[in-house]
């Protein structure tokens, strides 16, 4: 059955919007505050489901999963949560300081990171079983030692999508050893530069493993590298700029959902850009995720053309991603 199994995290996001970041020992007025649902794994799962494709989440929850209404939120969004593992400690918290129309600074709190890791490894067999129900496994910011275990042991054998995010700087060696196992690799330009430095390569095209590489350039759009060709994809303009939190996650979700629907990689990248444009129109990663109908409307408004009909079957796309040189 088609769909995306999203590996990552379940997090309570505390978003603070400021006009500028404080310097050391300086106090800055917070203009807006919002308590929202987040975590890269959950963000992708919810966004994929909003776009009409099946999705499941594999992550460790916390003892406040139900009390915070996060569980009911995921159930309402119709995300499969049989891979959500209960835990006796609190869910992680992130404190995101977001500068208007610009970047984020993120503080992250884990009550029991080691306990989370133990629960993941204990449930590795469960992850293997659930992955058989989905065509794509997407790995995002989370526990990379666990991801490496699953991939090295060949416990997950579908199309592998990987977005290492800020872990590229925190734990670069863990990122580098996962890359050879993935078919789709997503990163921003800063992360791509770091990977090139680590591997001592001149071009990201020299990476061994990924068949498709997508590099986000923020407001400048993205670059797509596939089958020896490079595509430049524009950033779709949002109606308003509020908070960039989660835009990367929704971009990845849009890309994967479009591939499942049968779109070429270039059109999928355009669709991904369209999905991401909605996310930054409100505080929080999951607050303004679009439906497929909304994506189609904005795509046609921005690109000044009708959204083409899918031209490929998923089996054709899957075959290319798994077997292309």
Q: What is the set of active-site residues? A: 249
Structure tokens at 69: 């209404």
Taking the C-alpha atoms of residue 193 and residue 180, their distance in angstroms, rounded to an integer, is 17
φ, ψ of residue 251 to 5 degrees: the values are -60, -50
Q: How far is CA 50 from CA 245, 286, 292, in A?
A: 18, 10, 7
Please answer whether residues 127 and 149 qualify as being in contact, where contact means their C-beta atoms are separated by less than 8 angstroms.
no
Q: What 3 state SS string does the chain have?
A: CCCEEEECCCEEEEEEEECCCCCCCCCCCCCEEEEEEECHHHHHHHHHHHCCCCEEEEEECCCCCCCCCHHHHHHHCCCEEEEEECCCCCCCEEEEEEECCCCEEEEEECCCHHHHHHHHHHCHHHHHHHHCCCCEEEECCCCHHHHHHHHHCCCCCCEEEECCCCHHHHCHHHHHHHHHHCCEEEEEHHHHHHHHHHHCCCCHHHCCCCCEEEEECHHHCEEEEECCEEEEECCCCCCCCCCCCCHHHHHHHHHHHHHHHCCCHHHHHHHHHHHHHHHCCCCCCCCCCCCHHHHHHHHHHHHCCCCCCCCCCHHHHHHHHHHCC
Q: How far is CA 1 from CA 111, 151, 267, in A?
A: 36, 21, 23
């Amino acid at each position: 059955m088609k769909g995306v199994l999203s590996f990552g995290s379940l997090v309570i996001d505390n978003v603070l919007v400021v006009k500028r970041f404080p310097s050391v020992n300086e106090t800055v007025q917070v203009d807006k505050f919002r308590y929202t649902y987040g975590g890269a794994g959950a963000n992708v799962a919810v966004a994929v489901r909003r776009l009409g494709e099946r999705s499941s989440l594999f992550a460790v929850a916390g003892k406040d999963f139900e009390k915070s209404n996060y569980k009911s939120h995921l159930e309402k969004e119709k995300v499969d949560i049989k891979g959500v593992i209960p835990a006796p400690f609190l869910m992680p918290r992130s404190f995101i300081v977001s500068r208007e129309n610009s970047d984020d600074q993120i503080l992250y709190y884990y009550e029991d990171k080691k306990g989370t890791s133990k629960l993941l490894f204990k449930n590795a067999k469960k992850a293997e079983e659930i992955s058989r129900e989905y065509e794509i496994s997407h790995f995002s910011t989370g526990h990379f030692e666990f991801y490496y275990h699953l991939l090295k042991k060949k416990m997950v054998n579908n199309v592998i999508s990987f977005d290492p995010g800020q872990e590229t700087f925190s734990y670069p060696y863990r990122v580098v050893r996962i890359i050879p196992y993935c078919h789709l690799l997503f990163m921003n330009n800063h992360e791509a530069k770091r990977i090139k430095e680590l591997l001592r390569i001149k071009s990201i095209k020299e990476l061994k493993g990924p068949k498709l590489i997508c590099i986000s350039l923020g407001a400048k759009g993205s670059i797509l590298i596939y089958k020896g060709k490079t595509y430049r994809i524009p950033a779709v303009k949002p109606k308003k700029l509020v908070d960039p939190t989660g835009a990367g996650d929704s971009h990845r979700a849009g890309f994967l959902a479009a591939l499942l629907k049968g779109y070429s990689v270039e059109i999928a990248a355009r669709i991904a850009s369209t999905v991401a444009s909605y996310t930054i129109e409100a505080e929080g990663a999951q607050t303004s995720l679009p439906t497929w109908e909304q994506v189609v409307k904005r795509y046609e408004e921005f690109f000044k053309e009708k959204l083409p009909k899918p031209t490929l079957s998923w089996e054709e796309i899957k075959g290319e991603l798994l077997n292309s040189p």
